[in-house]
Structures are given as C-alpha cells and as structure tokens.
A and B are shown apart, each in its own frame.
Chain A
C-alpha cells in the first residue's frame, strides 16, 4: 500500500519569501502525485499533479513541484509567498485502484 510523509507539521514564512514544502512517498509502481491546498473552513483545491513526463510540474497560484524518483519525493515550491497562501497543504499519492492516500498536511503561516 502506498503512503505519504510530510515531515513538516508547521512552517512559518515571511511574505515575499520563498516556500518549500516537503513530501516523501512510498509506492511500488509509478506514482500519481498531487498537491492540494485547504484554506480555513474550505474544501480541498488541486494545486498541481504529476502523472508522467516532465518531472517539474507547474500549478496554479505560482506553485511548482518536482518529482524525484531517486529520492521518492515530490516537493512543492513557490518563489514568493503572498499572505493568501496561508493554508493547509496536503500531498497525496494515487494508485490504479482508485485510492488516494494523503499525508498529514503542513500548515503554512505567512507573517507580514
């Protein structure tokens, strides 16, 4: 069975600074990888996904993620954060059996 680890429970970053959220996965085959964002009191919104091809994936809101098979990682980055990026971020891995397994999430706080 697949699993996802997000090592950072909480990250605080200054507005305008860069952000990197770590995600490590465990899955025997080629993974389908996702990053979702959940704003307070809201549902989950897809930021980006990786199925195959180019390992650097561009998403919405200026986010990107890089798939590194050798490190079993799919880290999310943003060059310059905005106060509206404060939210909970979830990394997820999907398999061919319709299952999506989520990490525990990383809370991002943006300070002025």
Chain B
C-alpha cells in the first residue's frame, strides 16, 4: 500500500495555464506538507496543513493555493504558471509537529 501518493507523476504544460497536483496519505496523519525541489535539488517547504488548517505559508506567490478537503488530502493548485515554477513538487505527511515526515514520490512539473 502506498503511504503518500501524488498525481500526476509528470506534468508538462504551457506558461499561463492553471494546473493542480493531488496528494493523498493513508497513514492517518494529521499534518500534510508541500515542498518544492528546484533544479539544484534544493528542497524548500511551501505549505503545511494540520487537520485541514493552514499553519505554514512560506512566502509563496499567491498563484499557489493549497486546498485540504479532508485530513487525508492536500492538493496544490497553481494559477498562471511561469517558467520558474518548473520543479519537482513533493507532498509529505507526519503524525504531529517535529515527527517524521513521509514523502510522496514527487510530481515533476515542466512549464514550457
């Protein structure tokens, strides 16, 4: 059973489009996260939700909007995509603060 899953695995799109990435975890965790990994493999947290409430928003452009319909899901919607949004986006979850975070397989977004 996959603990943290993301769809799609690859996403290629044109500048200016709007796209969504979905994340689901079946671990029963309360906290979920989105990270961005750039071309130099640097990982940076973008958002965190605890029990469907936003708790971390790391100065991410407001074109990025996370949505958590329930504790098991955290989706990422991106409006007006730009070239600089090309990256690998990872979803993660953890039981509580400072607990181990379990990562999904990543979604490679390419903006042309």
Q: Which residue numbers of A lie inside 8 Å of B, CB to CB?
A: 32, 34, 36, 38, 42-46, 49, 51, 88, 90, 94-102, 104-105
Q: How many A-B pairs fall under 8 Å by CB?
A: 58
Does B12 have its Cβ within 8 Å of any Cβ on chain A? no
Is the CB–CB distance between A96 and B97 below 8 Å?
yes
Is the CB–CB distance between A88 and B41 below 8 Å?
yes
Count of B interface residues, CB-CB < 8 Å? 25
Q: How far is the CA of A45 from the CA of B55 in the complex (A)?
A: 24
Given A43-B105, A96-B97, output 20 extra A-B contacts at Cβ < 8 Å: A36-B103, A42-B105, A43-B4, A43-B106, A44-B43, A44-B90, A46-B101, A46-B102, A90-B43, A97-B56, A97-B97, A98-B33, A98-B56, A98-B97, A98-B98, A99-B56, A100-B33, A104-B40, A104-B42, A105-B41
Q: Which residue numbers of B lie inside 8 Å of A, CB to CB?
A: 4, 31, 33, 40-45, 48, 50, 55-56, 90, 92, 94, 97-98, 100-106
Is the CB–CB distance between B103 and A44 below 8 Å?
yes
